[in-house]
Structure formats: structure tokens, C-alpha cells
Structure 1
Amino acid sequence: MMGAMTCSHVGALPRSVAPESAEGCVDCLALGEHNWAHLRMCLSCGHVACCDSSPHRHATAHFGASQHPVMRSFEPGEDWRWCYVDSAIV
């Protein structure tokens, strides 16, 4: 991706991680909700959560609770990654 940078956090990620759920945002589903805009997957543990355009912003909440730095888009056809620590697409 043009303009993407490499951060030190990418090198520390596991080689691969399986998504915790293919059904949607794990945290929204636990609340009985299905109202999210886009999904993100944590590249440290596979937690699937909703983006900041969603009402609950669970992906950012996951970073806050876990300090796992990098999420990737969990949308079909997208493969970009976001580092919360560096505030950058990586």
C-alpha cells in the first residue's frame, strides 16, 4: 500500500493468527447486537471487533485493554493493517 510504513510492532506479531469469530464483532454479539460498520482483527490474538465508525468502537477498546498494537481489516478484499501505537497504516 502506498504511503504505508513499517513499525517495530509488525515484526513482533505471531506468524499467523486465526480469527476468534467469523460471525462478527465478538463484543457486540455478546451484547446481543449486530450493529457495526466494519470489522477489525487483532493480529496478536485474533480478537474480532468493530471499528471506530461503529457505535461501540470495540477494536479500539480491545487495544486499550490488551495493548495489542496491530489490527487488520477483517473486511472481504481488504488487507491493510493499523498500528495503534504508531497511529499509522503499516
Structure 2
Amino acid sequence: MATCDHLEASPLTQVPDGFEPICLDCIENGGQWVHLRRCLTCNHVACCDSSPARHATAHFHATDHPVITSAEPGERWRWCYLDEVGA
């Protein structure tokens, strides 16, 4: 399986206290999401690329935080935007 330094530096972490499974960006703009992603740098939750607004990718472009994970129950994976590789 391919890997990268960003994935090595960003292990899966526990969901933080107070975690809300919502995309605040969608709520603020009246949008809706398909699935949610969580930034492993700052725990920001945003909608996936299958969602109309693609807020998780927008968060990456705005912050350069490279690794996300699924915020969906039971899913345990990571994705690095910079190297376009998952684990």
C-alpha cells in the first residue's frame, strides 16, 4: 500500500469531545452534504467531494492541512490531498 510522510505524521485520532457530525459550512450557506470528512490537523468537519460544495477540499486549499479522515460512523481511513494517496 502506498503511503506518504503526511499520512505517517497524521495517525487516526479519537473523535474529539463535542464532535458534531455536521458541515457547518453547508449549514451557513443553506447547502446539504452527502458524507462528512474530518481534518486530522484541526478537526474541522466538512462535506466530501460528492457533496455539491466540496467543503473538505476547500478547507485543504484554504489551510494546507493535508490529511483528512472520514467522519462517518464505522469508517477508518485517511487521505492525503498533497500526495493523493490513502491509507
Structure 2 unaligned residues grouped into runs of 5+: none
Greater RCO structure (CA 8 Å; 6+ sep): 2
Aligned residues: 86
TM-score (norm 1): 0.81
TM-score (norm 2): 0.84
Q: For the aligned residues, what is the CA RMSD?
A: 2.2
In structure 2, what is the equivalent of residue 67 of structure 1? 64
1:18 aligns with 2:16: yes
Amino acid at match of 1:18: P
In structure 2, what is the equivalent of residue 55 of structure 1? 52
Structure 1 runs (4+) deviating above 2 angstroms are: 10-21
Using a 3 Å threshold, how does the CA distance of structure 1 residues 47 and 75 change in structure 2: closer, same or farther?
A: same
Distance of 1:70 and 1:88 partners within structure 2: 10
Using a 3 Å threshold, how does the CA distance of structure 1 residues 46 and 22 change in structure 2: closer, same or farther?
A: same
Task: For residues 28-76 of structure 1, give each alpha carbon's deviation from its aligned partner in whole angstroms, at most 9, with x where no partner exists.
Answer: 122233x111000000000000000000000000000000000001111
Amino acid at match of 1:77: G
Question: Percent of counterpart pairs with the same letter?
Answer: 56
Distance of 1:79 and 1:58 partners within structure 2: 20
